[in-house]
Amino acid sequence: MITAVKGTRDLVPPETRVWNAVETVAREVFFLYGHDEIRTPVIEPAELFIRSVGEASDIVHKEMYTFEDRGGRAICLRPENTAGVARAYIERQMAQTGGVKKLYYIGPQFRYERPQKGRYREFRQIGAEIVGASDPASDAELIIMLFDFLSRLGFSGLTTSLNSVGTDACRGSFIEALVDYFAPHKERLGPDDQRRLAQNPLRVLDSKDPAVAPLVASAPRMLDVLDADSRSHHEELLKMLDEAGVPYRIEPRLVRGLDYYTRTVFEVTASGLGAQDAIVGGGRYDRLISDLGGPRTPGIGFAIGEDRLVDVVPDGFRKKALSGRLPVAIIPLAPGDRGPALSLSRSLRAAGIPADVITAGKGPGTGLKAAEKKSLRIAVLLGEDERREGTAVVKDLTARTQEKVALEGIVRYLQTMEGHP
Ligand code: AMP
């Protein structure tokens, strides 16, 4: 038997209904905020992520699916989507059409991580970006949109963790202070954190090692050494979030795992997910586009882990998504009834009633069993007698009642039956 690649999974019905419902709400809400969809390739040049997400990040260092294609190019399955959006923004000269670009994407991302609950090697993200705006009002608007989306899914009580990682202006001296702070405790750091300390000291603050947690807790705080502009950006953002009633918590150690962030970084976590509890990560990336060779263009975005989101989406939303209309089973009893069954199914669909023709074999028993297995609630049986009379037998499979109905009135009859208004 050939099985799915480790860390990947099939999304199958009826669960795919929940995914679709979530995506529909995302599209509706993002549209309300002026965002349009962008779809970038799943494969990108490996260099794109090395120069954006960063050589020393965990993603580039050990999680990327990189391969050489037949033309000798170093290709990556994208591990995230912001770098691809930035590449497209530059390549398609979106800056020239002026103003601010508000975009969103929905799609699969790939990281070679150790699979566990809520962590996959192929996972999906729903993300949004505002490119070309540096004002804290755009940070606020993006976070407000995120909370609008989450509350329309029925979430309540979620809080965003917020921090500022400043800019190059203040980061250099902060990193020196961090290195000075951690250096005497080097032996307490595991190999991963030692590598981070050498290559990318900020990331030690993001250590998942419980032995390092107390050290991190009393490490220097970026918030204490922000340059004046970053500080006022941060404070203005907080004021706007207060005014909008968006709940947040300042998290001075939040740094996030991607190198391109400047100033605002944020994360939303949800309970019920265990260790992998972050459902959203985001931040400002004022240097990303110029680092990739584009014009100096600020930006901010977030990415929602759709797999985790669907896992914890409130029950009400899930039930509603799953309780969608079911098709009416149309069961021809003999081969001669198949033509009439097809034509009846077309009349039903034309009237907006979903129909599923079941040619399961001989006799009414097999077809009905198949319909019940699919949890269908209404069946229409077409047999020889009915063909002669121009009727059909409509069965309510839940109530176990049945009635003979004239074919010309059957659409109306089905429309008035429960569940099919
Ligand atoms: P990041 O792109 O690392 O900022 O991640 C943004 C969000 O994507 C996280 O908060 C998770 O919800 C989700 N995510 C990241 N990696 C994975 C993974 N391996 N499996 C499932 N979800 C993930």
Each residue of 296-323: pLDDT tens digit?
999 999 999 999 999 999 999 999 999 8
- 391-396 β-sheet, strand order: 355-357, 328-332, 378-382, 391-396, 401-406
| pLDDT of 139 higher than 90 | yes
Q: Where does ligand 1 bind, in terms of residues with CB under 6 Å?
A: 80, 111, 113, 118-120, 123, 125, 257, 278-281, 303, 305, 307-308
Which residue in this structure is represented by tokens 């779809």? Answer: 39
> Which token pair is 106?
């929905």
124 strand-pairing partners: 108
Say whether pLDDT at 275 is over 80.
Answer: no
> Residue 97 class from Cβ within 10 Å (0-12 exposed, 13-18 middle, 19+ buried)?
exposed
pLDDT at 143 over 60: yes
**Cβ-contact 159, 268 below 8 angstroms:** yes
Arithmetic mean of pLDDT, 84-107: 94
**Is the pLDDT reported for residue 419 higher than 70?**
no
In whole angstroms, give the CA distance from residue 180 to residue 189.
Answer: 14
Residue 263's contacts (CB-CB under 8 Å, 6 or more residues apart) are 139, 164, 165, 166, 167, 230, 233, 234, 283, 284, 286
Question: How many other C-beta atoms lie within 10 A of the C-beta of residue 55?
Answer: 12
CB atoms < 10 A from the CB of 34, how many?
Answer: 12
Listed ranges 126-140, 169-183, 325-339, 349-363; the one with the highest mean pLDDT = 126-140
Question: Would you place residue 248 in the very low, low, confident or very high pLDDT band (cuts 50, 70, 90)?
Answer: very high
**Ligand 1 site-directed mutation target among 155, 158, 280, 306, most atoms within 8 Å of CB:** 280
Specify the residue with its C-alpha closest to ligand 1, atom 23: 305
Average pLDDT score over residue span 358-370: 82
Structure confidence at residue 321 (pLDDT)? 95
Distance between CA atoms of 137 and 117, rounded to whole angstroms?
Answer: 36
Give the rounded percent of residues in the chain with a pLDDT score beyond 70: 98
Instruction: Please give the distance, rounded to the nearest whole angstrom, from the Cα atom of residue 301 to the centre of ligand 1.
Output: 14
Instruction: From 303, 291, 359, select the one nearest 146 (Cα to Cα).
Output: 303
How many angstroms separate the CA atoms of 392 and 341, rounded? 10
Residue range 205-230: average pLDDT? 90
Nearest one of 188, 47, 181, 26 to 107, comparing CA atoms: 26
Q: What whole-number distance in Å separates Cα of residue 316 and Cα of residue 302?
A: 25
Compute the 3-state secondary structure of the chain and give helix, strand, coil in percent, each to the nearest 5.
Answer: 45, 20, 35
Weakest-pLDDT range from 226-235, 242-251, 364-373:
364-373
% of the chain with per-residue pLDDT over 90? 77
| Buried/exposed code over 183-218 (b: 16+ C-beta within 10 A; e: otherwise) | eeeeeebeebbebbbeebbbbbbbbeeeebeebbee
User: Does the pLDDT at position 420 exceed 70?
Assistant: no
**Residue 226's pLDDT is what?**
93
Per-residue pLDDT band for 200 (boundaries 50, 70, 90) equals confident
- Which atom of ligand 1 sits closest to the CA of residue 125? 8
* pLDDT at residue 35 in the model: 98
Report helix, strand or coil for 117. Answer: coil
Residue 202 has pLDDT above 90, yes or no: no
Give the length of the chain: 421
Kindly tell me if the per-residue pLDDT of 268 is higher than 90: yes
Least confident of 247-256, 288-297, 343-352: 247-256
247 contacts 257 by C-beta, under 8 angstroms: no
Q: How far is the CA of 123 from the centre of ligand 1 (A)?
A: 8
DSSP sequence for 331-396: EESSGGGHHHHHHHHHHHHHTT--EEE---SSHHHHHHHHHHHTT--EEEEE-HHHHHHTEEEEEE
CA of 252 to the centre of ligand 1 (A): 21
Strand partners, 127: 105, 303
Query: pLDDT: is 168 or 108 the higher one?
Result: 108
Output Rg (C-alpha) for the chain, integer angstroms: 28
CA–CA gap between residue 75 and residue 369 (Å, rounded): 50
Query: Closest residue (by CA) to atom 15 of ligand 1?
Result: 305
**Biggest CA-to-CA distance, the chain:** 93
- Give the residue-averaged pLDDT of 209-216: 90
Residue nearest to atom 5 of ligand 1 (CA): 281
Whether the link from the prior residue into 108 is cis, omega within 30° of 0, is no
- Which amino acid is present at 10? D
pLDDT band at residue 418 using 50, 70 and 90 as cut-offs: low
For the CA atoms of 409, 412, 415, 418, the dihedral, rounded to the nearest 10 degrees, stands at -70
How far apart CA 338 and CA 40 sit, in angstroms, is: 45
If you average pLDDT over every residue of the chain, what do you get?
93
**Phi/psi of residue 403, each to 5°?**
-150, 145
Q: Quote the pLDDT of residue 362.
A: 66
Backbone angles phi, psi at 105, to 5 degrees: -145, 155
- As a whole number, mean pLDDT of residues 136-162 equals 96
Q: Is the pLDDT of residue 27 over 90?
A: yes
* pLDDT (average), residues 199-206: 87
Beta bridge partners of 395: 379, 402
State phi, psi for 43 to the nearest 5 degrees.
-105, 140
